[in-house]
Amino acid sequence: MTSREWALLLALSVLWGGSFFFVRVALDGLPPLTLVLARVGIGGIVLLAVLKAMGQAIPRRREVWATLAVMALLNNLIPFSLIFWGQTAIPAGLAAILNATTPLFTVIVMHLFTADEKATPPKVAGVLTGFAGVVVLVGPAAFGALDTPLWALGACLAAAVSYAFSGLWGRRFKPLGLTPVFTAWGQLTVTTLAMLPIVAIVDRPWTLAMPGWPSILAVLGLAVLSTALAYIIFFRILASAGPTNLLLVTFLIPVSAILLSSLFLGERLAWTHFAGMALIGLGLAAIDGRLWKLATGKG
């Protein structure tokens, strides 16, 4: 990749790693589902302004919006809700580490449901190594050795599974000929419309106390920086460097989240969390394939 692409990749890792930090701060003043609505609603408004500035038309075909509706469910509504719920009980850095298991589940989903993305031996080794890391992370909580709720860990892992299925569903977008910014805006808009009745019934936000300024600023950071701006950078890297290089951001997001939560929130992770992250990182490296190519002289 060029130096510009590396810079964008690092920026994206900070923005997405920062999302876990912003969520942790915002949850002090807002319940999880209301926070999801705020994130997608404000992010959608920002991306709509970008669409208008770019002069892009909004497609009205039924198949486009039907495809977007499923993507919004798998890529926004379900994982955001699960991660935010999980983060009410676990540190931001730990949630980011669990989120990094998404490529592990993606390998399995693609192998089971596609004909052209079957798991290779290096990918199988990567998945097994990565799940060994998950066992190291979740095992102590399962046996009560750490004061970490098992349900919160399970929620973040379930979110990763949802992201994996969104990757499978995302294969349907290329034939539709949609622009990246519209795709991002469409997902956020559909998620916003779906979340409105859910939040109205469950949280009744009009009855909640006004959140403090830290929560308000965290919501803005989450929506504008970690959602709208991050989507724009994501699709720019995807177009210029390709999906394989984009996978590198998965390695960097937990680092950004851990640094931010440690510096500004005083959160500390157990040694088992770092051991699990190391194994997950090794698994991701095997799936990525570059280290294997270097080791065998094929790179």
Q: Is-contact 261 22, C-beta < 8 A?
A: no
Q: Which stretch of 71-80, 236-245, 261-270 has the lowest confidence by average pLDDT?
A: 236-245
Average pLDDT score, the chain: 91
Residues 176-191: pLDDT tens digits?
Answer: 988 889 999 999 999 9
Q: Is-contact 145 271, C-beta < 8 A?
A: no
Of the pLDDT bands very low, low, confident and very high (cuts 50, 70, 90), residue 154 is very high
Instruction: Look at the block and give the residue holding tokens 């724009």.
Output: 232
What are the phi and psi torsion angles at 177 (to 5°)?
Answer: 65, 35
d(CA 155, CA 70): 20
Of the pLDDT bands very low, low, confident and very high (cuts 50, 70, 90), residue 292 is low
The pTM (predicted TM-score) of the whole model is: 0.93
Over 70: is that where the pLDDT of 145 sits?
no
d(CA 126, CA 262): 29
Of the pLDDT bands very low, low, confident and very high (cuts 50, 70, 90), residue 281 is very high
Of the pLDDT bands very low, low, confident and very high (cuts 50, 70, 90), residue 132 is very high
Q: Which stretch of 96-105, 213-222, 233-242, 287-296 has the lowest confidence by average pLDDT?
A: 287-296
Q: Which residue has the higher pLDDT, 82 or 148?
A: 82
CA angle 201, 44, 46 (to 5 degrees): 135
What DSSP line would sit under the chain, residue for residue?
--HHHHHHHHHHHHHHHHHHHHHHHHTTTS-HHHHHHHHHHHHHHHHHHHHHHHT------HHHHHHHHHHHIIIIIHHHHHHHHHTTTS-HHHHHHHHTTHHHHHHHHHHHH-SS-PPPHHHHHHHHHHHHHHHHHHHHHHTTSSS--HHHHHHHHHHHHHHHHHHHHGGGSGGGT--HHHHHHHHHHHHHHHHHHHHHHHT-GGGSPPPPHHHHHHHHIIIIIIIIIHHHHHHHHHHHHHHHHHTTHHHHHHHHHHHHHHHHH-----HHHHHHHHHHHHHHHHHH-HHHHHHHT--
pLDDT at 139: 83
Of the pLDDT bands very low, low, confident and very high (cuts 50, 70, 90), residue 41 is very high
pLDDT at 239: 76
Over 80: is that where the pLDDT of 90 sits?
yes
pLDDT at 2: 83
pLDDT at 144: 67
Q: Which residue has the higher pLDDT, 236 or 93?
A: 93
Over 60: is that where the pLDDT of 299 sits?
no
Alpha carbon 41 to chain centroid, angstroms: 17
Over 90: is that where the pLDDT of 287 sits?
no
Over 80: is that where the pLDDT of 135 sits?
yes
Percentage with pLDDT > 90 across the chain = 74
**What are 137's two structure tokens?**
């992370």
Residue 6, number of CB atoms within 10 A of its CB: 14
Residues 240-255: pLDDT tens digits?
Answer: 877 767 778 888 999 9
Q: Is-contact 260 17, C-beta < 8 A?
A: yes
Residues near 122 by beta carbon (within 8 Å), at least 6 away in sequence: 286, 287, 289, 292
Residue 1, number of CB atoms within 10 A of its CB: 15
Summarize the confidence of residues 45-62 as an average pLDDT.
94
Residues 198-227: pLDDT tens digits?
Answer: 999 999 999 999 999 999 999 999 999 999
